[in-house]
Amino acid sequence: MRTGSVGGINEIGVIPGRRLDVDPTGRYVTTVHSGTVSTYGAADLAPVASHPVGRPQLVATHPGGATVAVLTADRSLELWSAGRRVATRPLGGTQGSAWLSFTAGGGHLLAGLAAPDDGSIRLDLLDAATLDLVDTTGALPGGYPGYDIGAPPADWGEGVTPVAAPPPSDTVALAANAGDDPHVLAVVDVVDGRLCTYATATGAAFAAQVPGERIDGIALDAAETLYVLDSDDTLTAFAWRDPDRPPRRVVSGHRFIDEVFGADSGREFAGPVFVVDNRLAVPVDGGPGMVLAFLDPASGHCTGRLDIPAPWSDGFIDNGLLWFTDGAATHIAGWTA
């Protein structure tokens, strides 16, 4: 087992405002500062576009970089491109658990909403250039405790984490927790302009087959595998398009930590999880500084590690990026495998 250092960290620079979003491909980062939403190239922080949107509730960055979708306080969805508002769509629903995500292919925007008056959640597929409604789904995954696929939950739990598959895919995975339980876990794919939802394996909901009490991270690879890291430090793989294939346990974090860092190291998987160059990358915390561990997804064996020094270890990690906010500015660094 190779556990030596790999990759590296490259401090890129500082941009004004607080970080809001990273596009599905990891090539652009978006911040908000004094009512302006600005997007920068992640590789060099070169300005790409700025939009005078006011105070957004949610922002999603298009993989082309120059366009953002913005959810406003009055429940309108706005599309801004190159500094101009080019489309508006009223969405309605309740504020607390809405979420937005462009697909990595760039053709569509997903809008997850919770209806008022105890209605069920809904998921709209919108045209990424016009915000026209392409499709909406009622076949949403059931939530905790019953996970009844035929009965959509009334909310998105504590909020959805959407993760897009690598481009040019139109596939997005989504996960949400509710208290000490996985609430929603599913994969949504766009096929011939229609939404297709995948949420079961061997007759049971994905969420019901996660060992841990909470989902800490999810990732999608190009081979149609959904990886789920849970609070028991277990990494599980779902062949999401095949409902007859049972989930596969990739690795137990406790055994992995003991083998790589030694027994009683006090370390644990910290979530989230990423797919990088056909490997999995998982942050490991609890020791002197954070470590990004790389795993072979077939065997669960460690193929290398990247030590993340302070102050980056005290910040946040995205796919290929590290960041922390200091006052009115966001510091950005890149990491490679």
Report the sign of the C-alpha dihedral through residues 104, 105, 109, 110, in that order.
negative
* Residue 18 maps to a domain: yes
* Residue 105 maps to a domain: yes
pLDDT in tens, 75-86: 889 999 999 999
**Residue 18, Cβ neighbours under 10 Å: how many?**
15
* Residue 1 maps to a domain: no
- Domains in the chain, number: 1
Report the sign of the C-alpha dihedral through residues 266, 272, 276, 279, in that order.
positive
Residue 41 burial by Cβ neighbours in a 10 Å radius (0-12, 13-18, 19+): middle
pLDDT given at position 300: 94
CATH label of the domain that carries residue 37: 2.130.10.10
* Residue 200 maps to a domain: yes
Nearest to 141 by CA among 125, 122, 158, 113: 122
* Residue 209 maps to a domain: yes
Under the banding of pLDDT at 50, 70 and 90, the label for residue 117 is low
Mean pLDDT of 64-68: 97
1, pLDDT greater than 50: no
Under the banding of pLDDT at 50, 70 and 90, the label for residue 4 is very low
* Residue 138 maps to a domain: yes
Percent of the chain having pLDDT more than 90? Answer: 65
Nearest to 234 by CA among 308, 313, 300, 291: 300
Report pTM. Answer: 0.93
pLDDT in tens, 137-183: 866 777 887 787 667 777 888 889 999 999 889 999 999 998 888 98
Q: Which helix (H) or strand (E) holds 331?
A: strand 329-336
At residue 49's C-alpha, the angle toward residues 48 and 51, to 5°, is: 165
Quote the domain boundaries for residue 242: 8-336
pLDDT in tens, 291-325: 999 999 999 999 999 999 888 988 898 888 999 99
Q: What are phi and psi of 182, to 5 degrees?
A: -65, 130
pLDDT given at position 95: 52
Count H helices and E strands in the chain, helices first: 1, 31
Mean pLDDT of 108-112: 94
Q: Where are the alpha helices (DSSP H) in the chain?
A: 253-261
Q: In the predicted model, what is the mean pLDDT of the chain? A: 89
Got the DSSP string for 25-45?
Answer: TSSEEEEEETTEEEEEETTT-
50-54, 142-146, 282-286: least confidently modelled range:
142-146
Task: Using the CB atoms, write b or e for 309-323: b if 16+ within 10 Å.
Answer: eeebbebebbbbbbb
Under the banding of pLDDT at 50, 70 and 90, the label for residue 328 is confident
3, pLDDT greater than 50: no
pLDDT given at position 120: 72
pLDDT given at position 20: 86
Under the banding of pLDDT at 50, 70 and 90, the label for residue 94 is low
Cβ neighbours of residue 166 under 8 Å, at least 6 residues apart? 25, 104, 220, 221, 222, 275
* Residue 2 maps to a domain: no
Nearest to 307 by CA among 335, 279, 330: 335
